[in-house]
Structure 1
Amino acid sequence: MTTPRLRVEDFDAFYRAVHGYAPFPWQSAYVRSVAEGGQWRDLDVPTGLGKTSLIDGWVFLLAWQTAGGGPRTVPLRLFSVVDRRLIVDQAYEHARTLQRALTHAPSDSVPGRVAQALTRLGGEELPLEVVRMRGGVDWASRWLRSPAQPAVVISTVDQYGSRLLFRGYHSTPRMRPIDAALCGMDALLAIDEAHLSLPLLTTALDCAAYQRTATDPVLAGRGVQVVSLSATAATDADRPRHHITDADRAHPVAGPRLNAQRRVTALDARALAPKKPAAAFAQAAERALQALLPLIKRPVIGVVANTIHTARTTHQALAAREDLDVVLLVGRSRTTDRDLLLAGPLLRELLDGPSPERTRPLVVVATQTVEVGLDISLGGLITENASLAALIQRLGRLDRTGAHPLAPAVVIRAGDQEPDDIPVYGSAADATWQWLTHHTPALDITEQSHTTLHDHFAAGLLVNPTTLPTLLGGVDTDPLNTAAPLTPVVHRTLVDSWARTSPTPVPDQEPGPFLHGLDTSPQDVHVLWRADLTTTPDGQLDWEHWVRHMAQVPPHPAETVAVPARQLRRFLTQPTAADTTSDLEGAPEAPAVPDTKGPPAMAPVLRFDESDGTWAPATRPGDIRPGDTVVLPSHYSGHDAYGWSGAPGAPVADLGDFPPRTHTAPMRLDDRVLTLLGGFDEATAEAVESLLRSACARTADDDEEPTAIVHGLLDQLLRRLPTAQDSANAYVPALRERLNALRSVRRWGLATTSRAAGTGHVILDPDQPTRLILAPAHRATGRIEHTPGIEDDSADASSLSRPAPGAQGLPVDLDQHGKAVAARAAAFAERLGLPSPLVAVVEVSAHAHDCGKAHERFQCMLCAGDRLLAESLPAPLAKSGMDPADQAGRRRAARLANWDRSLRHEALSALLVQSWLATGPAHTRGLDHDLLVHLVASHHGYARPLMPLASDPEPTDVTATMPDQQRVTVSSAGMGVTDWEAPNRFADLNRQYGPWGLALLETLVRLADMACSEEGS
């Protein structure tokens, strides 16, 4: 099918069709510039003029170039990276809007033609995939099904940067090469407000430079491209930039935004509470608010603080007033809580614009999370003094449309600290204050009345994109901004070390300094709360009990919140200490108080050990390390409806039963979990405990049909849920929905094997008489959902049919599977525009990747341990058709077949391929034999550069049919011999194709294998 041609001039019509209004002149000019010169210039565009439209421009240019039929230079994936967690969500919604417009566009419209071009390019059903990267143990390991799929990925610095460097946080070592390939090849990295993320920008450019040293010219030119989006500061004077033009200044919409009447007043509040800056700011903000109210036309005022502690102190003071509607907005919050907050009436109104019927002001108290990308328009602004760049960003939230004759802003200095001791911004905040008060006098709040403040606010310093260049003329702005952190050099030895993902080198270089710089605090940890982690009757900790409960319902990203490691340690050792956490990733923290009494006692928690994929106790501060996932018992507190508080309070609701795919996830019916979610009073909690105890006992007796017991229990629980949603039980609607979904399951049983669709599995806890788990079968396949915390590394796991919804889990012939994977991998390579020799080597290696499964005992295992059945097979199997959730059945099959599960079938495949190549087959003439062997050996993420060593206890000859139908025989004894040529081969291939290029070639085979396995082919 021929895709209709697109013209560059069609971008305006495309943008208008998607968003309902025309692009600004600079946006159209940028698209033309990239189309003509092929260079993604940095965007030096003031806030409020739609820098997020880079996503729209990239999508259009990718489709335009594809429809043109020539060589493709526009990257296949765009990574939009920001260091504000709330803004990750808003950028995600922008991308989702674009995705929906493409999916539903009429075929004869411009968006329809764009969608056709993208669908033709990716070969998938969706023209555009949209992914949100977040932390969490079960963060989607396969965030793209196809390496050729056009995709927008919205991410934080840590999530993208760690994957680029082959050390993805919460990604298993086996998946890291795929992550690195997708992040580092055929990718456009757009860093929003890049002056806040200079280390990542520098590191990404270094990675691209190393990829360009590859001797293969095609893959050398496919490294990540980087574009900076910055409204406040240049990132590199040598990097070309794209600016606004006179056409934008004269534009009827852009012009007023550039000339918004933002009047800034400096207010000194140090005398209010010299040693308590949070309290001083809260008092000053309340007085400033009272003076601002008569001046503003739009009844929405923002109050921005530098730390979560100050924001919460201010929110508490303002929320006590009855004449205001006040909401708190912080970035460090669990996804579920954030979604509930954003769906609430106050924040929904803030994002949509104030209601005309509003009778009292709406005040949003926030941290730095509002600085970047949040499309709100405030009528007035009160902000804590900060660095120049931060103040400019905050001013960008003030009267974004330029529609009002006056938009007052108040900058408050609170706390009598030395410049270097100012939280978050240090001496830069002091220097910015000096610069500001040079242009407008600082007012002492203790000497001002509401009337005088009112007058000063109306006559403040005019600061907008038009006046700011004059105000900064001749000024050295470096002291006014936090110094760019020292970023270590990404040298060749380090790149080579990172590329070695299996086994991981010891010691290993953490990616953190290359993402945030050398002089910053440790990276975040991901924290979640569970209500079913309790102590024994005698007060002791039962770690096995905790671990078992976490294994039953593994963590998911929506229940985690990112917190600096040091701050979590402080909370667990000194829960009443002031929290100086900001919403900046990698921001320096206040120095820790010297410890003169030895290591402090710490409340015990559970942490996920990524080195071996297990849960382990953490009882000392040093046990908590950056990148960890840490589980706290709910009664520890530290989080509320607004997000991380870092302070004692009410128990935290357990959200473990609400993963993104709730319809197939297991759910705990536990009295402690349900009490927090439902906001039950003491009497209701006791009744729920009694119901659960009775249901568990009756189910265990096996005298009654489990279905009747479960349905009766669910009916009773639903009747006890409150009917109205309020702040005390905001989780009730979601809880009611889950219980109703479980009630719709027709039949429940105790068996662990596969069940028909519409049935489910009841799991009892022998140590907890008021707890059971309900696991519904998959609606399409009837399979019980298997949701392990990490990817299954066992040798037999890859040989199970993993059908997508609607597909059948049937045995798959080895030759059939090899041909299917070969065809899929070759199609991927062709869609990427790789040269024919690389397409061919990918195809051949994909065909041969599983030939080692011809081992007779492996075949016996695939036949559930039945040797007679294995011997009677007309052809070897690649997939058994067994239920992936039936781990007990898999272990039994391996035991009956005498197959050691530590053996790697791909090691045997590599031996067979090497033996085949030694015969000089015409089928591989002209192909890179080293690459072919490597792609076969690494198709499960090992052999980078060494394969895990495991000897066959009963060596035997294994004969397999190769892609040219030649029969090759080797002894399985070779599986236990280290291939000492592998490290040199791996190093040579990295030089030939580049570290990210080699990972991409592996990814083609591996994603093809995964896709075919899911489809049952």
Structure 2
Amino acid sequence: MHFNTFFIKATGFGPYRWQQRVARDGLPEVLSIPTGLGKTEGVALAWAYRRLVAKAPATPRHLVVCLPMRALVRQTHDRLALAFAKLHAAGLPEVRVHALVGSTRREEQDAWVAHPERPWVLVGTQDQLLSRALNRGYTASPYDWPIHFGVLNNDCHWVLDEVQLMGPAVWTSAQLDWMRRLRFGTLLPCSTTWMSATVGTNFLDTRDRRDGGLRAPVPLELDAADAELPHSKLRLRARRPITWFELSTPPAGARSKRSAKAKEPAQQGGRAAKKPVAPEAEAIADAVLAAHTPGTLSLVVCNTVRSAQAIFRALPGNAPRVLLTSRFRAADRAAHEEALLRFEEARKEEPDRPVPGSPGLICVATQVIEAGIDVSARRLWSEIAPWASIIQRLGRLNRDGCDNHAARAVIFEAVRNPRHAEPVEKDRLGPYTADAIAISRQLLAELVPLSQRMPARDALAKIERGKLRPRVTEALAAPVAPLPRAVDVHGLFATEPDVHGGFTDVSPFVRDADPNADVQVFWRDFKSPPWRDATTGPTFDPREACAVSVHALRDFLSGVDAYVWDADSGQWQRKTAAALRPGMVVMLAGSAGGYHRDLGWTGERGDRLAELEPPGPGGRTYDDDHRSRRDAGRVTLDVHLRDAEREARTLVDGLGLASDPLGRAVVLAAREHDIGKAHPAWQGKLGKASTDMTLWAKYPVDGQFRPGMRHEAATALAMMARLLRGEADFPALSVYLAAAHHGKVRTHLRARTMDGEDVCGVPRDSGPLPIGAGQPLDFGCAADGAEGEFTDQGFLVASPGWTGIVSDLLGPHRPDRPWDTGSVPAGEPRDLGPFRLAYLEALVRIADWRASRIPSEIRDDR
């Protein structure tokens, strides 16, 4: 099948020449195509064609689309899901499209991570995707971090869209690309494309990349033939005249409208706090209302949530208005997005005229509207912002070029809030640096008169070729930001809590450290502390959470208790404001307030949600292995091990790893992964009859199953004993993979009892256990440090330490500083690096999930 036919089946129209080129030659490292000319479909369908039809070598099995804003994820997901559904209906292989945002439920995350051998597309935010690529997945359980880390750093083509909005994330993505390609390597190819209509490539010129011979590539751009197509010409010739907003006497009639303004609606079941409105906000709202044309979209874009809320509140309550920011719970935000997209669909029916009989819509938004969302406004009001943001916001005005006679843009200065002044910093204006705003103001001084005489694209091109070209280059360059080095990612491989009970904070590598590093906040109905005995309500659902910046929540918590779920104890634990870190899920009492259904997070104590559930569990516990639990029917240990081995073999076959020693290690790890369940301490907690000598892997238990030991640690100890005696047919790698198959026993072994005489709950005095054909399971190798004795020849190792095994398997963070603890026998797999080792972990875990879900033999004769 030719790509043109493939593209038409997916979209209903033919491809641009640049899209054909990408399908033929492969996805470029940098793609710079103007807004509205098919970047998303171009890269996604070119990838799919090369993978499914052309069978192009080195084309990764998965596509990961990374976006700066949650508002873009839904729209991109829906567009791609529709395209791939059409291709599947036409007889092509199924490609599922998944979404990943902060409100994505954990069960939905399993849908993509559980099928590494199938092609799929994952669309998500930079927060969710890059935190997982750094092994610190926001809103995910720490026990799931390694599997996401492994899958997203192998066999994926990453596409980072609208990179000018991503801040530190672009530097992080460039460093991860270097580490995958040169420093640590991957088991299966992993490549990257960065794209934007306003892209600079300085972030691809880091020292690590230069030293490795990776130079900043030349962007692929729109060619002349594509630019002359009728659809392209209409968009490329769109006019967007700009004026400055002067804070002066309100337009005629505005005050009379305001005097008749409908009363602000109270939120259902709660009460709205009374808040003063900034004079600037009232003036802008008056001007927006006076200029709004019924049947059209008026778009107001602010730099901060506070500014957007102030202008939204200043609009009459009976105006056709909607507020769109990142500070809403999922359901509330979805309703606001739906109102905007529903109006846009009606507008597109006759794009050259207002929607008949409609009052139109005034959408007040923050940067969430800046990129990717396909809306076209007749009026655009924008707070002054960095140059790249101004260009993106202008792209939402007369987007399709059908409103040249009436489109107008207005730039206004920052809105102050009398109750909630933004933190004053010498070098910043809100979320942006003062330097970036100063450059933008200088460029706008040139653009405003030009925009009134010529199409927007021509005006921008004239500035880029003129005397201010150096300023344009500076304005479009990615701001210097923290970036991860190899030693950082190497250290992030470990997922156990530190001595303070916390984890390494990766937020400086994911998003600007200013006010955008978020925690997820949700509310429940309780008065007394919600300890374990009080968790009678439903389990936390990510859809009930609202993203709140860390600094805003810390300010709010004066006199308010915050709680974070502790998986080890299975309890909610009180946290101080200083202890909060980005990515945490934080529970507040409903009486604390802080949220309004129409405004989102306000930080006002009087804004309270009603009809809340009581506290429930915040997630999984250390002893909870939900993916491998069965609630009905029993499965013997030998059946489950056989099933897991079969699933692992199928998995590595599907990935082309069957003949690879690493693939063999996966199969052998799956074969052995649950032998530790034979330990009496585990079998004894099943509540079975004492005369039943059968060893069970799955056995329904009334109530919560708390064996007090990690069976995978017992598995590792038994496997190590066989390895040391020279009786094993598996490598040390298989021992590690079996130990890690729940994500809870990984880089170190720890005691669970107060006296320390155990390893993850396995008693140190555990003796050999006869099992199968006289082969004993010896759990006596219960130590983390190496055991042996000093002799004249030095220290003779009798039992290698667990840390030494992990160290040899992982390898060094620098290739010029190799190490060898002697824990992994010569000739076995070692020095795998974090990406490969985590991917192998993921394969064993997935094989276990599949074997647990559909056993080959179930006994129901209890």
Normalised by the shorter chain, which TM-score bucket? Answer: 0.7 to 0.9
- CA 1:401–1:526 in 2, change beyond 3 Å: closer, same or farther? same
Aligned partner of 2:805 in structure 1 is 985
Q: Residue type of the partner of 2:643?
A: A
Cα distance in 1 between the residues matched to 2:315 and 2:637 = 68
Partner SS state of residue 851, structure 2: helix
Conserved? CA contact 1:269–1:415, under 8 Å: no
Partner SS state of residue 815, structure 1: helix
User: Does residue 434 in structure 1 map to residue 446 in structure 2?
Assistant: no
User: Does residue 634 in structure 1 map to residue 575 in structure 2?
Assistant: no
Aligned partner of 1:314 in structure 2 is 311
Aligned partner of 2:224 in structure 1 is 246
Aligned partner of 2:359 in structure 1 is 360
Partner SS state of residue 472, structure 1: helix
Q: Residue type of the partner of 2:585?
A: T
Cα distance in 2 between the residues matched to 1:789 and 1:645 = 21
User: Does residue 23 in structure 1 map to residue 15 in structure 2?
Assistant: yes
Partner SS state of residue 25, structure 2: helix
User: Does residue 524 in structure 1 map to residue 518 in structure 2?
Assistant: yes
State which of 948, 965, 969 in structure 1 corresponds to 2:776.
969
Cα distance in 1 between the residues matched to 2:152 and 2:717 = 31
Deviation at residue 162 of structure 1 after TM alignment: 1.5
Cα distance in 1 between the residues matched to 2:82 and 2:355 = 26
Compare the two structures and name the one with the higher helix fraction: 1
Cα distance in 1 between the residues matched to 2:73 and 2:508 = 22
Task: Compute the RMSD of aligned alpha carbons.
Answer: 3.4
Partner SS state of residue 60, structure 1: helix
- CA 1:867–1:1006 in 2, change beyond 3 Å: closer, same or farther? same
Cα distance in 1 between the residues matched to 2:305 and 2:627 = 46
Cα distance in 2 between the residues matched to 1:846 and 1:222 = 20
Q: How does 1:575-724 map to 2 (within 5 A)?
A: 601-609=558-566, 614-618=571-575, 620-648=576-604, 651-653=607-609, 672-673=611-612
Q: Residue type of the partner of 1:47?
A: T
* Greater alpha carbon shift after TM alignment, 154-163 vs 276-285: 276-285
Deviation at residue 250 of structure 1 after TM alignment: 1.0
State which of 741, 765, 769 in structure 2 corresponds to 1:939.
741
Aligned partner of 1:48 in structure 2 is 36
Conserved? CA contact 2:594–2:603, under 8 Å: yes
Q: How does 1:171-570 map to 2 (within 5 A)?
A: 171-213=140-182, 220=186, 222=188, 224-236=190-202, 238-269=216-247, 279-284=279-284, 286-287=286-287, 290-291=290-291, 293=293, 299-320=296-317, 324-344=319-339, 347-353=341-347, 356-406=355-405, 407-413=407-413, 420=427, 422-425=429-432, 426-440=434-448, 460-462=452-454, 464-473=456-465, 474-475=467-468, 476-477=470-471, 481=475, 484-502=478-496, 504=498, 509-516=504-511, 520-521=514-515, 523-530=517-524, 532-534=525-527, 542-544=528-530, 548=533, 550=535, 552-570=537-555
Aligned partner of 1:823 in structure 2 is 646
Conserved? CA contact 1:281–1:412, under 8 Å: no
Partner SS state of residue 306, structure 1: coil
Deviation at residue 461 of structure 1 after TM alignment: 5.0
Q: How does 1:766-805 map to 2 (within 5 A)?
A: 789-794=618-623, 800-801=629-630
State which of 813, 827, 843 in structure 2 corresponds to 1:1004.
843
Under a length normalisation based on structure 2, what TM-score does the superposition of the two structures give? 0.80
Cα distance in 1 between the residues matched to 2:781 and 2:426 = 66
State which of 703, 714, 720 in structure 2 corresponds to 1:908.
714
Deviation at residue 649 of structure 1 after TM alignment: 7.3
Conserved? CA contact 1:292–1:408, under 8 Å: no
Deviation at residue 130 of structure 1 after TM alignment: 1.5
Aligned partner of 2:668 in structure 1 is 844
Deviation at residue 209 of structure 1 after TM alignment: 2.9
Conserved? CA contact 1:337–1:643, under 8 Å: no
Cα distance in 1 between the residues matched to 2:843 and 2:457 = 47
Conserved? CA contact 1:195–1:235, under 8 Å: no
User: Does residue 810 in structure 1 map to residue 633 in structure 2?
Assistant: yes
Cα distance in 2 between the residues matched to 1:511 and 1:522 = 13
User: Does residue 833 in structure 1 map to residue 620 in structure 2?
Assistant: no
Partner SS state of residue 323, structure 2: strand
- CA 1:549–1:984 in 2, change beyond 3 Å: closer, same or farther? same
- CA 1:624–1:197 in 2, change beyond 3 Å: closer, same or farther? same
Under a length normalisation based on structure 1, what TM-score does the superposition of the two structures give? 0.69
Cα distance in 2 between the residues matched to 1:504 and 1:605 = 21
Structure 2 gap segments, 5+ residues each: 205-215, 251-275, 349-353, 417-423, 751-758, 787-799, 812-830, 857-862
Aligned partner of 2:272 in structure 1 is none
- CA 1:603–1:935 in 2, change beyond 3 Å: closer, same or farther? closer
Cα distance in 2 between the residues matched to 1:548 and 1:353 = 54
Partner SS state of residue 353, structure 1: helix
Cα distance in 2 between the residues matched to 1:977 and 1:525 = 35
Conserved? CA contact 1:943–1:982, under 8 Å: no
Conserved? CA contact 1:194–1:229, under 8 Å: yes
Conserved? CA contact 1:278–1:310, under 8 Å: no
Cα distance in 2 between the residues matched to 1:849 and 1:429 = 57
How many pairs align? 759
Partner SS state of residue 32, structure 1: helix
* Greater alpha carbon shift after TM alignment, 387-396 vs 130-139: 130-139
Cα distance in 2 between the residues matched to 1:612 and 1:163 = 24
Cα distance in 1 between the residues matched to 2:680 and 2:592 = 54
Cα distance in 2 between the residues matched to 1:183 and 1:824 = 21
Percent sequence identity is: 27
Partner SS state of residue 781, structure 2: helix
- CA 1:967–1:917 in 2, change beyond 3 Å: closer, same or farther? farther
Deviation at residue 98 of structure 1 after TM alignment: 3.1
Structure 1 gap segments, 5+ residues each: 1-6, 119-126, 442-456, 535-541, 573-600, 655-671, 675-770, 774-786, 803-808, 892-900
Deviations 1:485-517 (A, max 9, x none): 543353333232211224657785311122235
Conserved? CA contact 1:609–1:628, under 8 Å: no
- CA 1:385–1:918 in 2, change beyond 3 Å: closer, same or farther? closer
